[in-house]
Amino acid sequence: MKKLVNIFVTTVFIGLAAVLPAQAISLDEMKTPAEASNYTRTSSSQEGIDFCKEVAKQSGGRIRVDHIGYSPMGKEMIVLVMGNPAPKGPEEVGGDKVVCYLNNNIHSGEIEGKEASLILAREIAQGKHDKILKDVVIVLNPNHNLDGNDMLGEHRIDSQPEPRLVGSRLTSQGLNLNRDFTKLEQPETKAIMKVIKRWQP
The full set of domain ranges for the chain reads 25-199
User: 127: phi > 0 → left, psi -120 to 50 → alpha, else beta; which?
Assistant: left
125-152 pLDDT, tens digit per residue, is 999 999 999 999 999 999 999 999 999 8
Is residue 19 pLDDT above 50, yes or no? no
Q: Report the number of secondary-structure helices (H) and strands (E) in the chain.
A: 7, 6
What integer pLDDT is reported at residue 160 of this predicted model?
Answer: 75
Would you identify the CATH topology of the domain 25-199? Aminopeptidase (3.40.630)
Q: How long, in residues, is the chain?
A: 201
| 136-141 and 98-103 strand pairing | parallel
Confidence tier at 16 by pLDDT (50, 70, 90): very low
The string over 140-149, giving b where at least 16 C-beta atoms fall within 10 Å of a residue's C-beta and e elsewhere, is bbbbbbbbbb
Of 158 and 70, more confident: 70
